[in-house]
Amino acid sequence: MGTKLDIAICGGGIGGLSASIALALDGHKVTVFEAASKLDEVQNTHSRPARIKIGSSIQLPPNATKYLQERGIQSHLSDRTVYPENLFVRRWRDGKTIAGVNWKELGKKYGGPYMHVYRADLQAALLGIAEERGVNYRLDSKVVDIDVETPAVTLKSGERSKADLVVVADGKECSGADSKLSQKLFGDERSPQLTYSGMAAYSATLEVSLLQEYPDLAWLVDIPNTNVWIGKGRSIETYTLHAHSLFRMIFHCPDPVPPEKWDEPQEAMRQKIAKDFADWDPIISILTYFLPAPTKRPLMDRPTHPYTSAPPTRQVVLLGSAAHTLPPYLSQSTAMTIEDSILLASCLQDCSSNPSEAHASDAPSTIPSALHHFSTKRASRVSAVTEASEQMGALWHMSDGEAQRQRDAESAPLGDRVWRVEEGNPYIWGNEEGRRWLYGYDAGVEGLEGL
């Protein structure tokens, strides 16, 4: 092992906390600087009976949850997590099942369960683990500047804190906002910019008990499954959350208006959703009738960030949504952030904070060389997963025609909940090679290869 490092992490969200745990487990001294004065909480604000306003949700696949499971996440999440059994992909017009996957079987094969969880719940659970590992988590500590040569961070209060390594994890992908610190580090010319994809995601939440009152809807919540209706440039995803007590709906549809000009009231958003999906499966029409006040966010595009700047003296690295933005169609955004954290810790295992040690033939790597290795590995992986996510979106949003009929024939279930897993299945979880590449990836091992 190399020298234990003093590490400053800018941002105490999912990325910052995941990194702090992975690094603290290797014995590094870690301080997390979080701008917020208190953590977000899951809020149940009832404006009308059975309507609920609640924070953003996360789907976590096995390539992320196997690491969380190793760190004892279940004991901190208690009963707030849902473990879905299956994913049903349905035809837009009539809800006919055209593809699917058994999430429980996939989770057993690749070492971690598929999970549905609220962002605030996951953040609180990660904070609990981080504090158990001795991480210093500082609220109301906004980082406004980074000295890349020292390195050091400067807080809004004027306090300056030196470190061996600075990790920038202040991205806000769920809101479509960019990392302010990455813009400072790289400048507008070198920093790949977020651009609007032309697609919006509308989200809303109902209580499961409401759906159970109506026979036409109860089947959606009888068993914790994920359902996705696809076609005509749009898609709808539904699943349950919070101990199977809440029902989440996410509508993906085109919106040519740029986000900076969005100002429609919630009733106008409801009307747009109802209009865009008016001729879909009748179940969707029923759901839109009960639709509570939705929230709306833009789906953003950006080339994968270089993670760390070129000059070899710099000891600053980007992580999570400060470095990458993924389409939602494979539910890999948070998973890539967690992989970032594991691989970064792996790259730093034999790292020295003393550059003079690099002259010895058996010396550990220096921080800049470790960060270069990390950046190269992650840029390759995240770019490939981003491309796979874009391809899944294209599959979801096909218009009816010959290509759509071929897609459905190649992925059709072999029987009731007997999912087709074979070469030629266009869905990545429908063929063994795709499953192994996406869900069987081991970030810890990858970080050590070629170091």
DSSP string, 266-293: HHHHHHHHHHHTTTS-HHHHHHHHS--S
Q: According to the model, what pLDDT value does residue 142 have?
A: 94
The mean-pLDDT minimum among 66-75, 268-277, 326-335, 424-433 falls in: 66-75
Work out the percent of the chain whose per-residue pLDDT is above 90: 69
Range 191-201 average pLDDT = 84
Query: Rounded to an integer, what distance in angstroms lies between the CA atom of residue 275 and that of residue 288?
Result: 10
Is pLDDT larger for residue 341 or for residue 190? 341
Query: Rounded to an integer, what distance in angstroms lies between the CA atom of residue 375 and that of residue 155?
Result: 26
Tell me the per-residue pLDDT of 32-46, one tens digit each, with 9 for 90 and over.
999 999 876 544 333
Q: According to the model, what pLDDT value does residue 355 have?
A: 55
pLDDT at residue 210 tops 50: yes
pLDDT at residue 183 tops 50: yes
Query: Rounded to an integer, what distance in angstroms lies between the CA atom of residue 235 and that of residue 224?
Result: 19
How many Cα neighbours within 13 Å face the side chain of 34?
Answer: 21
Q: According to the model, what pLDDT value does residue 32 have?
A: 98
pLDDT at residue 51 tops 80: no
Range 256-283 average pLDDT = 94
Tell me the per-residue pLDDT of 230-257, one tens digit each, with 9 for 90 and over.
999 999 999 999 889 999 999 999 999 9
381 in Cβ contact with 339 (< 8 Å):
yes
pLDDT at residue 356 tops 60: no
pLDDT at residue 98 tops 80: yes
| Secondary structure (H, E, C), 330-387 | HCCHHHHHHHHHHHHHHHCCCEECCHHHHHCCCCCEEHHHHHHHHHHHHHHHHHHHHH
Work out the percent of the chain whose per-residue pLDDT is above 70: 87
33 in Cβ contact with 142 (< 8 Å):
yes
Q: For residue 398, what pLDDT band results from cuts at 50, 70 and 90?
A: very high
Q: Report the mean per-residue pLDDT for the chain.
A: 88
Answer yes or no: pTM beyond 0.75. yes
Q: According to the model, what pLDDT value does residue 194 have?
A: 79
pLDDT at residue 154 tops 80: yes
pLDDT at residue 3 tops 50: yes
119 in Cβ contact with 55 (< 8 Å):
yes
Q: According to the model, what pLDDT value does residue 80 have?
A: 84
Residue 136: phi, psi to the nearest 5? -90, 105
Q: Which uninterrupted H or E stretch holds 447?
A: helix 443-448
The size of the chain, in residues, is: 451
Range 213-229 average pLDDT = 96
Q: For residue 47, what pLDDT band results from cuts at 50, 70 and 90?
A: very low
pLDDT at residue 397 tops 70: yes
What is the CA 32 to chain-centroid distance, rounded? Answer: 20
Which ranges in 206-303 belong to alpha helices (H)? Answer: 208-212, 215-222, 266-276, 282-289
